Copies of this chain bind each other. A is one copy, B any other.
Amino acid sequence: MANKLRIDSLQSSTAAGSGHPTSCLSCAELMSCLFFSELQPEDEFILSKGHAAPILWAAYAEAGFIPPEELATLRRIDSVLEGHPTPKMPLVRVATGSLGQGLSAGVGMALSKRLRKSTGRIYVLLGDGECAEGSVWEAANSAAYYRLNNLCALVDGNRLGQSEPTMHQHDLAPYRQKFEAFGWDAMIIDGHSVQAILAALTHARRSTKPCAVIAKTIKGKGVSFLENREGWHGKPLKGEQLAEALKEIGKADISLPSKMGLSTTDSTVVDFETNGYRRGEMVATRDAFGKALVSCGKKNSTVVAIDGDVKNSTMTEYFFNKFPERGFQSFIAEQNMVGMAVGFSAMGFNPFVATFSTFLTRAHDFIRMAQYSMANIKFVGSHAGISIGPDGPSRMGLEDIPMFLSMPKAVVLYPSDAVSTECLVREMSMHKGISYLRTTREKTPVIYDNGEQFPIGGLKVVRRSSEDKALVVTAGITLQEAITAHDRLKERNIHTRVIDLYSLQPLDGDALLKNARECNNNVVAVEDHYCNAFAAVLSAVLTDVVYLCVRDIPRSGQPQELLKRYGIDATAIVKMVEQML
């Protein structure tokens, strides 16, 4: 069967004219043992070394999930068999292709199985090269901490990276030592011996720890002119080379049953119970988020929360205290936190992921890949903007909005008070896909009445009159600055309209346009963010907007001092409106 998978992989990548056949050949025995002996209906498999996609498609085909002739469509614009695995092919739970991400998703899946009291196991196939990614060790740490003996990592130790040999080449002992030091059971085996692989998998099944099977393999195994040779990474064979290779491999007329299944894991819609807030009460939106998350958790057992040792800052603490079995600590490892969420999502849970908004940048590549996994994850970033004050720039979220905007389908929300935060957490929890809620460290006054609705894609006009001459568009902590500016300007008989743009993506462009026109197109946008966030959004509908935003690298100071210094406080708004008119 391994040879049959080899043949399939060579043929499909040659048909595609690109791909990574030698990276498939090294793991053919690992794949055949997994798919045709080990994997049970409740089990899950992640191909973390996503560039070996051809052999994954081959295994699915030989297991009967894909018509074999479809393999020839690899990488075509009309095929679900993409160059790297994506859930366009429904058996794929997690998109891979950016290395070092699969094991974290495996941790999330293994925890999901445990929560569901399933006996299912999770298998993750990694390359040796990708073990240089720190995220692999974040995941390893996490798996050991949660004693995930239902998780098995297989490392395809084929010695050769893309551009040169890997750090440890065929000296596989360091991998074993690393996994052991990170709290795993680990062993080194001959990755081309079916017997050795099956024995290792049996051992792993009985282990009390997560288990790493480090397989010594040969890149290009089975074809003499490819074996263990540099310069063949990511190169398909040409016609004659293919013929030669197939001749060497010989016949592989075999078919084997696979027990692998495709369980459905659809998550349910989240119901919700609101907290009450009083107008004028001072509540940080991060705190309102924390309480709303508890409300989500009460009504829905699929809600889980993952935090990176800042739960007393993001306020997921409330959830952790109320539902300790559904609160997961990733410690200070943000990539793993997001990877775990991808795994939870793939298993039908509704994960909330929270840290400081700026530390979400640590997981940018994981977040980017989560969209390709079609994951359902609710991101929450606290401590947005310069208004966090004395901690200084390293802790200020000033680049988070464009990061989320850059995903076409992501929802981006930025509430200004407790009532809207609570309502938006509800909206997020009902939304399927990637959504992001940006919260504020400082307390802000409650300005809305309980029960007011905040649909995704909406906005609120919070101050208006028939005489408005300018429009101030803002969200978050600067909304209060805009309201103060409105009041000061009104004293001088200058009427301004104020919009709370709590939904940045999707955007209510029509309402913005209408309000702008009613204010003679005098629009000032104010944001506690570097300058490219609101502009990226508003430019789709409004012209000639003046932006008040953070234009310089900020520094430590008191929140109000900083709002003033960087020109996004009420005084700056008043001045800009006056100048404009």
Contacts and interface: CB of A to CB of B under 8 A. Distances in A.
Given A16-B390, A531-B408, A556-B79, A331 B97 contact: no
A562 interface: yes
Interface stretch (A58-66, A105-113, A366-374, A418-426): A366-374
B98 A359 contact: yes
Interface in A169-186: 174, 177-178, 180-183
A274 interface: no
A212 to B, nearest CB: 12
Interface stretch (A221-229, A395-403, A467-475): A395-403
Residue of A18, A533, A536 most packed against chain B (CB within 10 A): A536
A145 B131 CA distance: 14
Contacts of A178: 178, 181-182
A266 interface: no
A364 interface: yes
A358 interface: yes
A398 B394 contact: no
Contacts of A393: 82, 84, 86, 95, 97, 372
A364 B88 CA distance: 28
Contacts of A578: none
Interface in A225-272: none
Interface stretch (A193-201, A478-486, A492-500, A539-547): A539-547
Interface stretch (A202-210, A296-304, A305-313, A569-577): A305-313
B331 A132 contact: yes
A479 B253 CA distance: 51
A84 B408 contact: no
Nearest to A130: B332
Interface string A57-93: 0000000000000000001110100111010100000
Interface residues of A, number: 110
A335 interface: yes
A328 interface: no
A76 B407 contact: no
Report copies per complex. Answer: 2
A490 B371 CA distance: 41
A166 interface: yes
A439 interface: no
A415 interface: no
Nearest to A104: B134
Interface string A150-161: 000000000001
B84 A392 contact: yes
A329 B164 contact: yes
A389 B145 CA distance: 40
Interface in A353-409: 358-359, 361-362, 364-365, 368-369, 371-372, 389-395, 398-399, 402-403, 405-409
Contact of A394 (B50, B129, B336): B50
A97 B406 contact: no
Given A163-B309, A163-B312, A369-B394, A333 B558 contact: no
Contact of A134 (B134, B530, B545): B134
A286 B310 CA distance: 41
A105 to B, nearest CB: 13
A84 B395 contact: yes
Contacts of A166: 331
A99 interface: yes
Interface in A542-581: 543-545, 547, 550-553, 555-558, 561-562, 565
A530 B371 CA distance: 13
B402 A407 contact: no
Given A133-B332, A138-B134, A538-B539, A532 B402 contact: yes
Contacts of A405: 402, 532
Contact of A361 (B77, B364, B539): B364
A101 B28 CA distance: 38
Contacts of A86: 392-394, 555
B132 A332 contact: yes
A141 interface: yes
A535 B543 CA distance: 12
A96 interface: yes
A317 interface: yes
A530 to B, nearest CB: 5
Given A361-B368, A406-B532, 15 more contacts: A17-B390, A18-B391, A82-B555, A84-B392, A98-B359, A132-B332, A133-B332, A162-B313, A163-B307, A164-B311, A178-B178, A403-B406, A408-B530, A408-B553, A543-B543
Interface of A: 16-19, 50, 75-77, 79, 82-84, 86, 88, 95-100, 129-130, 132-138, 141, 145, 161-164, 166-167, 174, 177-178, 180-183, 307, 309-313, 317, 329-336, 358-359, 361-362, 364-365, 368-369, 371-372, 389-395, 398-399, 402-403, 405-409, 530-533, 535-540, 543-545, 547, 550-553, 555-558, 561-562, 565
20 contacts: A18-B390, A19-B390, A77-B555, A79-B556, A82-B556, A84-B393, A98-B359, A98-B362, A132-B330, A133-B333, A134-B138, A134-B335, A164-B309, A362-B365, A369-B394, A372-B553, A402-B402, A406-B533, A408-B552, A536-B536
